[in-house]
Chain A
Amino acid sequence: MGDIMVVLFWGLGIYLLSFILHLLIWKIKLPKKQTRALIIIFSGTFIFCLVILSSILSLSGCYSEFIPGRFLEFLHISLFFISLTLAYIITYSGVEVDSPALVMVMIIKKYGLDGIDKKELEEIITDDLLIKPRVEDLLFDRMAYMEGEKYKLTPKGVLFASIFRFYRRLINAPKGG
């Protein structure tokens, strides 16, 4: 097994282990803050595996084709694993909440070839479904807080908003949403 196969093998192996752990925890009890839980599970498993691998290497003192032996290989495995994990976490956010397009498509499909007009869609898909839960999410994730009747951004929320504002200005795009 060569250097790169070691990267693929361990990168995928640790990812699969983290994924199985995540599935098991989700079956036992769904965490309240799911994204945070995913980050903890995946990074925890990764650090644990790296510590085990380096311990095996330093204890046995012998080089095996299956075990990454150089800092370069550890670095490559880390990049592979982190990319895979971030791609999964960002995809998971689409599973966690219902996207408006998904809701609309499923409703339109339900109406068959008779179809549904825009007004009917607006009666089914309301602010209570699309906007209010997302505002609640901002409070829950401490991106925003309430002062009287008003919603305001926390420093964390300001940081996130400014990153996207800067990027949208950079590409000269409208507000979006």
Chain B
Amino acid sequence: MIHNYLHVFIPIFALIINICAHILLFRFISRIGLLIAVIISFFIGFFCLIAFECYVFFSVSQYTMGLIYLFTANGIIYSLLGYLYFQFVNLGETARRIRIMRELYSSKDGLSMEEILKRYNAKEIIGRRINRLVRANQVKCKNNKYYIKGMPFILFLSKTIVTMKLILLGKRSEFD
């Protein structure tokens, strides 16, 4: 009976392996990017999930259902947990609120709006984002002008998010 509980917790074990692998990869392989490290560690966790599932299922489980169903449910749970971890990493990397909170955290007496803007501002955000977009080949740059050709992934994603905004919020932007 106790072995059946292992099936429930396997996605959590796999997630822990995913997180540990990501921390080790990013910390000790200097050339590796944050996103690449997230992708590699996700697959390391996924591989462990398959291995754990097979081991528990064939050796100790009394679960009455087939391995395929079990793997489907736990595969979905692990993928969702992996996505959550990716979003957590992404928040630390790109979220403005987190960056502002970190600036406030590092200042004992607090910061005025002017001081916040000296440390973190729209100019810095645009500079970082545009470099990332150009490096990832999502936006082209010619004669210091930025343009988009075709339908790169980021444009597809932006359009999807705008559609979701229209469905859920009834507007295209938070400023509408």
Contact = CB atoms under 8 A, between A and B. Distances in A.
A75 interface: yes
Given A3-B65, A101-B129, A114-B147, A30 B102 contact: no
B97 interface: yes
Contacts of A116: 145-147
Interface string B96-118: 11111110110001111100110
B174 A96 contact: yes
Given A95-B164, A95-B165, A161-B102, A117 B120 contact: no
Interface string B1-20: 00011011001100000000
A102 to B, nearest CB: 5
A115 interface: yes
A7 to B, nearest CB: 5
Contacts, number: 241
Nearest to B28: A172
Interface in A1-19: 2-5, 7-8, 11
A163 to B, nearest CB: 9
B97 A134 contact: yes
A153 B101 contact: yes
Interface residues of A, number: 83
A117 B130 contact: no
B80 interface: yes
B155 A109 contact: yes
A161 B122 contact: no
Contacts of B109: 150
A105 B104 CA distance: 29
B54 interface: no
B94 interface: yes
B64 interface: yes
A39 interface: no
Contact of B139 (A103, A105, A172, A173): A105
B116 A102 contact: no
B158 interface: yes
Contact of A151 (B27, B84, B95, B104): B104
Contacts of B126: 100, 104, 118, 121-122, 125
Instruction: Bin the interface of chain B by size.
Output: 35 or more
Contact residues of A: prevailing secondary structure: helix
Contacts of B120: 131, 177
Contact of A131 (B7, B100, B104, B173): B100
A173 to B, nearest CB: 7
Interface of A: 2-5, 7-8, 11, 23, 26, 30, 72, 75-76, 79-80, 83-84, 86-87, 90-92, 94-106, 108-109, 111-118, 121-122, 125-127, 129-135, 137-138, 143-144, 147, 149-153, 157-158, 160-162, 164-165, 167-168, 170-173, 175-177
Interface of B: 4-5, 7-8, 11-12, 22-23, 26-27, 34, 63-66, 69-70, 72-73, 76-77, 80-81, 83-84, 87-88, 91-102, 104-105, 109-113, 116-117, 120-130, 132-133, 138-140, 142, 144-149, 154-155, 157-158, 161-162, 164-165, 168-169, 173-175
